[in-house]
Structure 1
Amino acid sequence: MTNLNKLFRNRLGIPYDEVITFENLNAFLEKTAKTIPFENLCIIENRTNEITRENLIKKIIEQNEGGLCYELNSLFYFFLIENGFDAHLIRGLRYNYNSQTWSTLGKTHVANMIKHKEQFYIVDIGFGGNSPLKLVPLNGETVTSNNGEFKVENIDSEHGDSIFYIKLKHKDKEWKIGYAFDSKKVIKDLAELNEVQKVNTEHPESNFNKKPVITRFTDKGNITLTDTSFTEWVDGELTKKQIDKKLFQEIANRYFGL
């Protein structure tokens, strides 16, 4: 077993001798989403590093930080490969449901796609509060998890051949587009991830370079922290309170280990 495999299992509390299979992978996805936060602090604090296997291990595992999609899903990609899965990274174009427009930043979402018995599945632990927490097949089948309903439909467009849809539990009454992607175009070089990081870090329209945001799933919902508020979803009930800079750091440490 490699160092990454041991360290990742240790952070999640997974025994070294537990075999990860297609049948029990969903449990590991949910465990990861409840353990490692989705957050952008390295961008806000101007301390981003090149996306490499070693740097991801150091940041997310050794330093107990979280990350954005291109960090979380890339680290999980290495973990999947080391546990025998046929995995690839893909890039997606996000959709803004409020403005009903596609992102102008390009394909800045990064997710995993695995192949099992001739079927393909999206494995995405880096979509923040929209993460499916389960494998989502590319055949249109609806998957239901603790976070809602998810599906991928094969729809050809200028953005690819597939669209990932979400309908969040307690929040959405109808399906929303999450992102479009091309299932036949996989990431071949980590340099692409550094391009994605550069856009998220420097582009004036990026959602991640203006204020801190941290979110993590819990056994009963999820929690989200920004520089001005702390939001908790517990069994469908929303609680939101305003905070200051001092409280931000206290909550980041207490609830997210940051």
Structure 2
Amino acid sequence: MKKINTLLRERIGMSQEEKIEFDNLHTLLPQLAKELPFENLCIIENRTSELTEENLAHKFFTRNEGGVCYELNSLLYLFLVENNFDVKLVRGVIYENENNKWNDIGKTHVTILITYKEKIYLIDTGFGGNLPLKPVPLTGEEVHSSNGDFRVRNIKTEHGNYIFEMKVRNKDSDWKWGYAFDALESIGEIGELNEVQDIIVNHPQSPFNKKPLITRLTHDGNVTATEQSFTEWKDGKMTKREMNREEFEKLIQNYFGFKKV
């Protein structure tokens, strides 16, 4: 099997010779967000696999699919390790802003911490449409990208010592909590995340085992598809049309490029 470094570069159209530096992660992260959709189709179709490097490669590069947080960020983590970055995976608990409470299913969000010049940053390519698209320092400093404003503040909760906050463009007028995490509780290897996958796949309160969802960023907004509708944000304007299951199946193959393998 080719290395993740080689395969990921091929998928996003990046030169194999281009050196990845911390200072150009703000270019890499939007590329990933546009090419690798956040989606739960494997979960809905009951065809998840054990989390291994080989299985991730098959999902992302043979079937040309996307994934949920523990898949997308595991892939990015492996890529960054191969490019000699100091990174680690951590688990977080999602905050449900609409209900003003922490998600009941526990630490099921997976994100990445990267250390550069003795400073720690959060990067996340697996949080649906809420991606910061740039490294966010764990200092409370605000980071601004085409997708909105983001920060990580040192706030202690029962779920950790930091909270990722967001003000997504065209969506949020005020700061919202995204998730809490403990920067000191890192994951040793991606196999440990099979516990997270088991919760997401089987827990009755999991938000991702009920209905199919696929979303990704575009050059000027984002697109989201379900079995009922297709929604597109473009230059701050939303258009939405109804859709049936047959149209949804065609869309994920023709528009998102999924392959039946």
Task: State the TM-score bracket (shorter-chain normalisation).
Answer: over 0.9
Q: What is the match of residue 91 of structure 1?
A: 91
CA distances 1:55-101 after superposition (whole Å, capped 9, x unpaired): 11111122211000000000110000111100000001000010001
Q: What is the match of residue 202 of structure 1?
A: 202
Task: Give the partner amino acid of 1:131.
Answer: L
Q: What is the match of residue 107 of structure 2?
A: 107
CA distances 1:208-252 after superposition (whole Å, capped 9, x unpaired): 101100001000000000110100000010111111111111221
Give the Cα separation in 1 of the matches to 2:208 and 2:197: 10
TM-superposed CA distance for 1:50, in Å, is: 0.2
Give the Cα separation in 1 of the matches to 2:50 and 2:15: 30
Q: What is the match of residue 243 of structure 1?
A: 243
Give the Cα separation in 1 of the matches to 2:50 and 2:14: 28
Give the Cα separation in 2 of the matches to 1:64 and 1:247: 19
- Structure 1 stretches (4+) deviating beyond 6 angstroms? none
Give the Cα separation in 2 of the matches to 1:148 and 1:87: 24
Give the Cα separation in 1 of the matches to 2:107 and 2:3: 31
CA distances 1:141-172 after superposition (whole Å, capped 9, x unpaired): 00011110000000112111100001010111
TM-superposed CA distance for 1:198, in Å, is: 0.5
Q: What is the match of residue 151 of structure 2?
A: 151
Q: What is the match of residue 3 of structure 1?
A: 3
SS of alignment partner, residue 134 of structure 1 = coil
> How many aligned residue pairs are there?
257
TM-superposed CA distance for 1:192, in Å, is: 2.6
Give the Cα separation in 2 of the matches to 1:227 and 1:47: 19
Give unpaired runs (5+ residues) of structure 2: none
TM-score between both structures, scaled by the size of structure 1: 0.98
TM-superposed CA distance for 1:23, in Å, is: 0.6
Give unpaired runs (5+ residues) of structure 1: none
Task: Give the partner amino acid of 2:140.
Answer: G
Give the Cα separation in 2 of the matches to 1:24 and 1:3: 21
Contact preservation (8 Å) 1:216, 1:256: no
State, as a whole percentage, how many aligned pairs show the same letter: 53
Contact preservation (8 Å) 1:122, 1:136: yes
Q: What is the match of residue 185 of structure 1?
A: 185
Q: What is the match of residue 80 of structure 1?
A: 80
Contact preservation (8 Å) 1:231, 1:238: yes
SS of alignment partner, residue 105 of structure 2 = coil
SS of alignment partner, residue 255 of structure 2 = helix
Q: What is the match of residue 65 of structure 2?
A: 65
Asked if 1:135 corresponds to 2:142, the answer is: no
TM-superposed CA distance for 1:253, in Å, is: 1.8
Task: Give the partner amino acid of 2:53.
Answer: R
TM-superposed CA distance for 1:134, in Å, is: 1.0
CA RMSD of aligned residues (A): 0.9
Q: How do 1:1-80 residues align onto structure 2 when only pairs under 5 Å count?
A: 3-80=3-80
Task: Give the partner amino acid of 1:45.
Answer: E
Q: What is the match of residue 164 of structure 2?
A: 164
